[in-house]
Structure 1
Amino acid sequence: MVEKLDAGQIVGRPLRYFDFFMAAFVAILLLSNLIGAAKLATLWGFTFGAGILFFPLGYVIGDVLTEVYGYARARRCVWAGFAAMLFMAVMSWVVVALPAAEGWPDQKAYEAVFGATWRIVFASLIAFWAGEFANSFVLAKMKLLTRGRHLWMRTIGSTVVGQGVDSLFFYPLAFLGVWSNGQVATVMVTNWALKVGWEAVLTPVTYAVVGFLKRREGLDIYDEGTNFTPFRTRV
């Protein structure tokens, strides 16, 4: 049986799968930035950053977390992801900056893969933080407005806003003045459209995961009375 609850009604209640999804959210975020961001790939004549294949999965999991467990717990996951990205950036800088042992041949490869400029790191952190909070906020509010109906509308609509905010922050902060204004605008719009399209394609998967979690957890959270400030981690 699935109970429709306000967010405050599940405080202290055991949640069987929340920790797993929080870990998956942070892992996908880190790996898509660490492994995918450094490579440009080409398929069918179209060139794109390889991370775009997996980074949107973080938004899918963010949708699942907000839909099933509520905005407050999704907010904890966003802050956990932000802290993990910040630590990854500091660790990458330290490891790359350490003097290489004499005769070790891979320093340039390390610099190429892990030596992102602080401008790009800053842009990634700000864009992720703002985009994920926008995504969770829109989904939670749309759930109240639709009274829990039309999940596809909420997941796609929140991604349109969240990925839009992400792109509006990341590309100008990272590349304005390095690329032409036209290039920044083209890449920003193209990648936003691809990410939203990927979310739409994954809608059946989102439905299946949300349905499974609601049944197994026995709850369905509505954010009535929730404090939507992003500047807290307490549920």
Structure 2
Amino acid sequence: MTAVTVVVLAAYVGNIVLANWTSTHWSPLQFGVFAVPAGTLWAGMTFTLRDLLHEALGGRGVLGAIAAGAGLSWLLATPQIAVASVLAFTTSELIGSIVYSRLRGRAVLGAVLGSNLVGLGIDSVLFVPLAFGGFALVPGQVLGKTVATALTVAALLAAKTARRAVRR
């Protein structure tokens, strides 16, 4: 395992920890008309980090990372947040990983974008009602995760462009 892989794995697990901790201890954030669960941005970044792990560790490595993330969810949150997180996280991460592996042959950034959009939709629709008892926070969660996806895809695009410039 390379140093970069270790950093990405630590970031992946760290984002899961932060998402569950903030969802448990902070009230939803208000952005205009949208109420956004506090852990949304952290949770949104896990989708791209999962795809980077897929590149580095393959499908089996990603499954191990998903299991570690699900296990940490049990330790770091209230029982209601933990159950919601494990169910939503495991389902969305597994399906997102499948989408990524199917799209990966075409373009990495397209695969990241596609898997993130599928994952954030599934995660939001499952997590919010289980964690908070209704669907009122789903639009804010989808918005927050979409912003996280846009930021992480933009960062990947910038890194790809910088690598190309260095090679020239």
Same fold (TM over 0.5): yes
Q: Where in structure 2 are the equivalents of 1:41-52 lying within 5 Å? A: 41-44=29-32, 46-52=34-40
Q: Residue 121 of structure 1 aligns with which residue?
A: 82
Query: Could you give the per-residue CA deviations for residues 36-95 of structure 1, whole angstroms, max 9, x where no partner exists?
Result: 542222345643222223221222211211134322212211111112222334xxxxxx
From 101, 111, 116, the counterpart of 1:159:
116
TM-score (norm 1): 0.59
Percent identical pairs in the alignment equals 24
Q: Do residues 29 (structure 1) and 16 (structure 2) align?
A: yes
Going by fraction, where is helix more abundant, 1 or 2?
A: 2
From 30, 39, 51, the counterpart of 2:27:
39
Q: Residue 111 of structure 1 aligns with which residue?
A: none
Deviation at residue 210 of structure 1 after TM alignment: 6.9
Provide the C-alpha distance between the structure 1 equivalents of 2:38 and 2:128, rounded to a whole number of angstroms.
Answer: 16
Q: Residue 146 of structure 2 aligns with which residue?
A: 196
Name the SS of the counterpart of 2:3 in structure 1.
coil
Greater C-alpha Rg:
1
Contact 1:64 1:206 in 2 (8 A): no
Contact 1:25 1:58 in 2 (8 A): yes
Query: Could you give the per-residue CA deviations for residues 101-121 of structure 1, whole angstroms, max 9, x where no partner exists?
Result: xxxxxxxxxxxxxxx3x2332
Q: Where in structure 2 are the equivalents of 1:118-197 lying within 5 Å? A: 118-144=79-105, 146=106, 149=107, 151-175=108-132, 178-179=133-134, 184=135, 186-197=136-147
Q: Do residues 54 (structure 1) and 4 (structure 2) align?
A: no
**Size of the alignment, in residue pairs?**
162
TM-score (norm 2): 0.80
Runs (4 or more) in structure 1 with deviation over 6 Å come to 210-213
Structure 2: segments with no counterpart, 5+ residues: 164-168
Provide the C-alpha distance between the structure 2 equivalents of 1:171 and 1:83, rounded to a whole number of angstroms.
Answer: 19
Higher RCO (C-alpha under 8 Å, 6+ residues apart): 1
**Aligned AA (2:98):** F
From 61, 64, 86, the counterpart of 2:74:
86
